[in-house]
Each structure stands twice: as C-alpha cells, then as structure tokens.
C-alpha cells in the first residue's frame, strides 16, 4: 500500500494481512523472530500500516492493530479512530518532509542502520567504520567513550558485512574486478565423518567399546527434529515435546561464554 503526495509515491507499507469488518479494519502483524517488537500503541510500523489501510479504503473509520509474536509477549491491541488516524497521517507527512530537507541530519547507528539497504554507499555509515578504525580503546579510555564505541560497533559490523558481500558478488561475476588486488580464496576443505557405522566397526576391532565411541560423538537437538518428524509425522509443539521425551536424562548443560548486551 502506497502513501502518495501530489500523485507521487513517497512511502509504502505491506501488512501481512488485513481483515475488514464493515467500517473496521484489523491488522495482525506476524513476527517470527525471538526479539520482542515494540508494543502496539508505540509501534511506528503498525501506526503507518493503520494510516495506509485508512487512506486506501475510505469505508474504514477504525483500525485495530495487534502483534502476533511467535516467541514474544501476548498481543496488546491498539485502536485508532478517525481522529487518531488523521493525526498519525499528519505526523507521518511532517516527518517525511523533515527527512527530505537538504540539511536533514543523517545519523548512523545500530538501530537505524540494521535493515537499511544503503549501507554500502552511505557517507555517515562509512564514517562510523572510520571512527572505529582510528579509535584507541585502551585501559585509560573513559566509560562514556567506550560506550559510544560499543554503540558504533553494531552499525559498523552491518556496513562491513555489506561491503564484503558486494565485493564477493562482483568477484564472482568478474574475478579480475579489482585488478588482482582482492581475490576470492578457495574455501577451506573439511572432511567430516559421514558414515558412523563403518567408523565404529573399525574402532570396535581396535578395542574401542560402544560407550567410548558414543562418548566421542555428539548429536545436536536440531538434528533430531527432521529425523523424528519424518519417522512419526509429528509437527509443531507436539514434535518439540517428542524431542524432549527422547532426550530426557541424556543431556548435559553447557553454558556459553558471556556476551555483551545493551540494556534499554
């Protein structure tokens, strides 16, 4: 669905689905990731979708938005009447106008750069990488400086990944795209053991017991899912429960190394 100005398309939104009940529209936004999305009454994506549905269907005077999160919190629907929709429309247009001003600031950061497709040619995003490249976060760096550098890391990582992906794409098309200064090195060759029964039989002949052999092997839980699904036809939560039943008493907890996280 498009937002237009003077016949020109200036913004868009794509709801997963819209249900219409007379003059009321309901937008259930499906989220399959593990992170909680911003709550409905403050979610700008849902707010924009509500405006688009209202503008594109003049019978609608009320829009209800709700998140359907696979792993997050339960839905907390938010409702927009015509007054709220009109206000949201005006605020959206004002925001677009401010963004289009010649002197509008562009601020790179982990949130705004995460899904932005312009990373490879955005001067502000490139500046983040340059800032990190020249930073000297030694033991004498103050807390504020380190925290700012930490925030810049997430944005820089996305830019770096995009640049590397673009270089790789060009080299796959033309191996001499960079005059031999950058090349695609062949990937490392690995030799995983794929026939465990044969290896076990040979080990057994050398005096290795079944217990000793299985102690040296591991089976990730995720590898059990397709096996049990194919064998039993079980799906969804029933399949998860079956996996837990199969591995009960046969697992050991292993905690990964601590990682950094920014608290809101």
Give 57's DSSP letter: -
Q: How far apart are CA 90 and CA 85, in angstroms?
A: 9
**Cβ contact 45:32 at 8 Å:** no
Q: Are 1 and 15 in contact (CB under 8 A)?
A: yes
- CA pair distance 178, 260, nearest whole angstrom: 37
Residues 176-233: tens digit of each pLDDT: 999 999 999 999 999 999 999 999 999 999 999 999 999 898 888 888 889 999 999 9
Give strand pairing partners of 89: none
Crossing angle of helices 123-134/143-173, nearest 10°? 120
Side-chain-facing half-sphere of 233: CA atoms under 13 Å: 0
Contact 182, 171 (CB under 8 A): yes
What's the N-to-C CA distance of the chain in angstroms?
Answer: 33
Residue with structure tokens 């695609």? 184
Structure confidence at residue 158 (pLDDT): 85
10 Å CB burial of residue 124 (0-12, 13-18, 19+) is: middle
Instruction: Give per-residue pLDDT as tens, 118-176.
Output: 888 889 988 988 888 888 777 667 888 888 888 888 888 888 888 899 999 999 999 99
Whose tokens are 């050398």? That residue is 206
pLDDT in tens, 26-79: 999 999 887 788 999 999 999 999 999 999 998 999 999 999 988 878 899 999
Q: How far is the CA of 33 from the CAs of 8, 9, 69, 71, 262, in angstroms?
A: 34, 30, 8, 7, 19
Residue count (the chain): 264
Q: Which residues touch 192 (CB under 8 Å, ≥6 apart)? A: none
What's the whole-model pTM score? 0.59
């Amino acid at each position: 669905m498009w937002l237009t100005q003077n016949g020109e398309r200036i913004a868009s939104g794509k709801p997963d689905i819209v249900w219409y009940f007379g003059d009321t529209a309901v937008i259930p936004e499906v989220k399959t990731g593990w992170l909680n999305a911003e709550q409905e009454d403050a979610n700008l994506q849902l707010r924009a979708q509500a405006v688009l549905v209202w503008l594109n269907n003049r019978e609608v005077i009320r829009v209800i938005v709700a998140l359907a999160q696979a792993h997050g919190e339960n839905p907390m629907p938010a409702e927009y009447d015509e007054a709220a929709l009109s206000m949201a429309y005006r605020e959206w247009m004002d925001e677009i106008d401010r963004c289009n001003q010649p002197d509008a600031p562009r601020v790179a950061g982990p949130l705004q750069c995460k899904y932005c497709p312009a990373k490879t040619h955005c001067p502000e995003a490139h500046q983040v990488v340059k800032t990190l490249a020249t930073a000297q976060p030694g033991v004498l760096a103050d807390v504020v400086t380190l925290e700012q550098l930490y925030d810049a890391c997430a944005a820089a990582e996305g830019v770096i990944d995009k640049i590397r992906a673009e270089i790789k794409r060009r080299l796959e098309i033309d191996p001499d795209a960079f005059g031999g200064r950058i090349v695609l090195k062949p990937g490392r060759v690995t030799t995983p053991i794929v026939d465990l029964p044969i290896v076990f039989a040979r080990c057994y002949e050398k005096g290795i017991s079944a217990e000793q052999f299985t102690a040296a092997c591991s089976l990730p839980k995720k590898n059990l899912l397709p096996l049990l699904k194919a064998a039993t036809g079980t799906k969804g939560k029933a399949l998860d429960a079956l996996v837990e039943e199969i591995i009960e008493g046969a697992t050991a907890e292993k905690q990964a190394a601590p990682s950094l996280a920014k608290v809101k």
